[in-house]
Amino acid sequence: MMNLKDFEVWFVTGSQSLYGEETLKQVAEHSQQIAKAFDSAKQIPVRIVFKPTVKSPEEIYSICQEANTVKNCIGIIAWMHTFSPAKMWIGGLKILQKPLLHLHTQFNRDIPWDSIDMDFMNLNQSAHGDREFGFIMSRMRLERKVVVGHWQDKEVLEQINTWSRAAAGWSDWQGARFVRFGDNMRYVAVTDGDKVEAELKFGYSVNTHGVGDLVKVINAISDKEIDTLTSEYEEKYAVVPSLRKGGDQYNALRDAAKIELGLTAFLQDGNYKGFTDTFEDLHGIVQLPGIASQRLMGKGYGFGGEGDWKTAALVRAMKVMGSGLKGGNAFMEDYTYHFDPNDPLVLGSHMLEICESIADGKAKCEIHPLGIGGKADPVRLVFNVAAGPALNASIVDMGNRFRLLVNEVEAIAPTHDLPKLPVARVLWKPYPDMKTGCAAWILAGGAHHTCYSQNLTAEHLQDFAEMAGIECVLIGKETNLRQLKNELKWSEVYYR
Ligand code: MN
């Protein structure tokens, strides 16, 4: 969706002047070699940029200041090849606004048993140098990710991959704009929240436009543009005959295309990264945007139904984090249950708006009535979703803080045709099991709206929550309700 090579992570090595020129030269050479290896590693999606060794409070302050101001720098990897007295780091770490990964590695993998001497020991001290650095970050109560292992270790590369994807999502939120067409669905609690606090905490803004502003743009779309887009629909999807050119509902397909083109123009013109709408406020829009929202999400926009701006922003961030990975990220809702004790399942779906990025195979393009909203029948993409590991994530506003809630699930292959269900759908089993997973989600106040991800892991979202400085509650294979209840209660004190 996005080329993450546009983002840079800086590789910063800490040391001190005490060691003399010869040792520092070797430190620089080793760091350069590691940075270069990371930069060309296929597991790491961002650029890794080598920075000269920092040896004094002034140099450390200056690199942190520079990282703050360079726009495409999304974070720092810090490593103490030698000892780097950590009081030197206080000033720099105090002002650093970008995420930090503390890489606890050393240049050599093995101890050279036969040749090891005190010169070698002097040069290769990260085992204790990184402890000094770790202390100051803990003492300052700073969030960071600690990755331990030799720099050529696959797991180390994988953890850097995960963290840098989270950092890309975080960077994308800074200054991002989200637009809401209309307000929240009336009386709904969980999709509402404090937009001022969200902007302070997350860096993105959420503002509303009356739906009339969007209608004006939709109405200015030309017939020629509509012709082009409806042909694209016919090519890309299995469009039902009634919607095809010459079919008796062809005009409804044209209306849907016109809505998509209008929405696209509005989002591009306002430089928005996502949007919400609501079926309760569609004055002048003939159908609830269905295929439009599904395709705009497919192009990387965030979306939330019924005015759910927190989920729209989360969908966007998760799409950025998943860029280039197989599988997709979609707006989702826990819709209905299969309570068969031998095979309990959740059916996830929405009225219309599930992102096409998670479709298994060619989607069908259909038209059906919508029970609510009182508008013309909306055009939508209908598809199944492949089996495999996945997760649902939700951000809720707890009043004194935001909470990111993650539930790992296992999607299963469709067991039935569901011939009368006219929406995209997915079946999953929540971890650790149906009853515990659902109870845990409800106790933690998780929303009915989520972002469903096929390509991100709980670790991506935990890293992301740490960058944002918010609570992260994971419901996974290890979850037990007693512990979870305690965690929620203890967190209540921590975040007071
Ligand atoms: Mn909904």
Cα–ligand 1 centroid distance for 55 (angstroms): 54
pLDDT at residue 89, rounded to an integer:
98
For residues 224-230, average pLDDT = 98
Beta-sheet strand order (sheet of 302-304): 205-209, 177-181, 274-276, 302-304
CB 457 within 8 A of CB 393: no
pLDDT at residue 374, rounded to an integer:
84
Cα–ligand 1 centroid distance for 306 (angstroms): 6
Cα–ligand 1 centroid distance for 330 (angstroms): 13
For residues 309-320, average pLDDT = 98
CB 353 within 8 A of CB 274: no
For residues 449-460, average pLDDT = 98
Cα–ligand 1 centroid distance for 424 (angstroms): 14
The residues pairing with 180 across neighbouring beta strands, listed in sequence order, are 208, 276
Cα–ligand 1 centroid distance for 157 (angstroms): 38
Short-list 46, 296, 271, CA closest to 175: 271
Cα–ligand 1 centroid distance for 374 (angstroms): 17
Cα–ligand 1 centroid distance for 201 (angstroms): 25
pLDDT at residue 1, rounded to an integer:
74
pLDDT at residue 447, rounded to an integer:
98
pLDDT at residue 279, rounded to an integer:
94
Cα–ligand 1 centroid distance for 191 (angstroms): 9
Cα–Cα distance measured from residue 393 to residue 403, given in angstroms and rounded to the nearest whole number: 10
Cα–ligand 1 centroid distance for 243 (angstroms): 26
Residue 67 in this model has a pLDDT that exceeds 80 = yes
- Give the rounded distance of the alpha carbon of 436 from its chain centre: 25
Which amino acid belongs to residue 243? L
Cα–ligand 1 centroid distance for 493 (angstroms): 32
CB 338 within 8 A of CB 463: no
Rounded to the nearest 5 degrees, what angle is found at the Cα of 57, between the Cα atoms of 121 and 101?
65
Query: In sequence order, what E strands does 350-424 have?
Result: 364-367, 379-382, 388-397, 402-412
Cα–Cα distance measured from residue 393 to residue 447, given in angstroms and rounded to the nearest whole number: 9
Cα–Cα distance measured from residue 440 to residue 438, given in angstroms and rounded to the nearest whole number: 5
Kindly report the backbone phi and psi dihedral angles of residue 170, in degrees, each rounded to the nearest multiple of 5, phi listed first.
-65, -45
- The reported pTM is 0.97
Cα–ligand 1 centroid distance for 308 (angstroms): 8
Cα–ligand 1 centroid distance for 447 (angstroms): 10
Cα–Cα distance measured from residue 318 to residue 169, given in angstroms and rounded to the nearest whole number: 7
* HEC per residue, 112-125: CCCCCCHHHHHHCC
Residue 138 in this model has a pLDDT that exceeds 90 = yes
Cα-Cα-Cα-Cα torsion 398, 402, 407, 411, nearest 10 degrees, comes to 110
Cα–ligand 1 centroid distance for 234 (angstroms): 28
At residue 373 the predicted structure's pLDDT band, cuts being 50, 70 and 90, is: confident
Percent of the chain with pLDDT over 70: 100
Cα–ligand 1 centroid distance for 457 (angstroms): 24
- Give the rounded distance of the alpha carbon of 102 from its chain centre: 21
Cα–ligand 1 centroid distance for 329 (angstroms): 16
At residue 189 the predicted structure's pLDDT band, cuts being 50, 70 and 90, is: very high
- Give the rounded distance of the alpha carbon of 368 from its chain centre: 32
Cα–ligand 1 centroid distance for 169 (angstroms): 24
What are the tokens at 447?
């929303």
Cα–ligand 1 centroid distance for 402 (angstroms): 20
Cα–ligand 1 centroid distance for 449 (angstroms): 6
What are the tokens at 318?
């998760």
Look over the chain and give the mean of its residue pLDDT values, rounded to a whole number.
97
For residues 222-242, average pLDDT = 98
Cα–ligand 1 centroid distance for 317 (angstroms): 19
Short-list 85, 91, 81, CA closest to 12: 81
Cα–ligand 1 centroid distance for 248 (angstroms): 30
Q: Residue 465 class from Cβ within 10 Å (0-12 exposed, 13-18 middle, 19+ buried)?
A: buried
What are the tokens at 420?
């009368």
The DSSP secondary structure of 304-339, one letter per residue, reads EGGG-HHHHHHHHHHHHHTTTSSS-EEEEEEEEEE-
pLDDT at residue 66, rounded to an integer:
98
Q: Could you report the per-residue pLDDT of 268-294, keeping only the tens digit for each? A: 999 999 999 999 999 999 999 999 999
Cα–ligand 1 centroid distance for 253 (angstroms): 23
CB 353 within 8 A of CB 372: no
Cα–ligand 1 centroid distance for 473 (angstroms): 22
Residue 372 in this model has a pLDDT that exceeds 90 = no
At residue 241 the predicted structure's pLDDT band, cuts being 50, 70 and 90, is: very high
Cα–ligand 1 centroid distance for 102 (angstroms): 40
What are the tokens at 307?
């005015």
Q: Could you report the per-residue pLDDT of 335-352, keeping only the tens digit for each? A: 999 999 999 999 999 999
For residues 25-35, average pLDDT = 97
For residues 385-407, average pLDDT = 97
Cα–Cα distance measured from residue 496 to residue 195, given in angstroms and rounded to the nearest whole number: 20
Cα–ligand 1 centroid distance for 284 (angstroms): 21
Cα–ligand 1 centroid distance for 219 (angstroms): 27
| Number of other CB atoms surrounding residue 373 within 10 Å | 15
Q: Are strands 345-349 and 329-338 parallel, antiparallel or unpaired?
A: antiparallel
Cα–ligand 1 centroid distance for 477 (angstroms): 27
Cα–ligand 1 centroid distance for 64 (angstroms): 42
CB 347 within 8 A of CB 309: no
For residues 44-57, average pLDDT = 97
Cα–ligand 1 centroid distance for 481 (angstroms): 27
Cα–ligand 1 centroid distance for 450 (angstroms): 9
Which amino acid belongs to residue 307? G
CB 81 within 8 A of CB 105: no
Cα–ligand 1 centroid distance for 350 (angstroms): 6
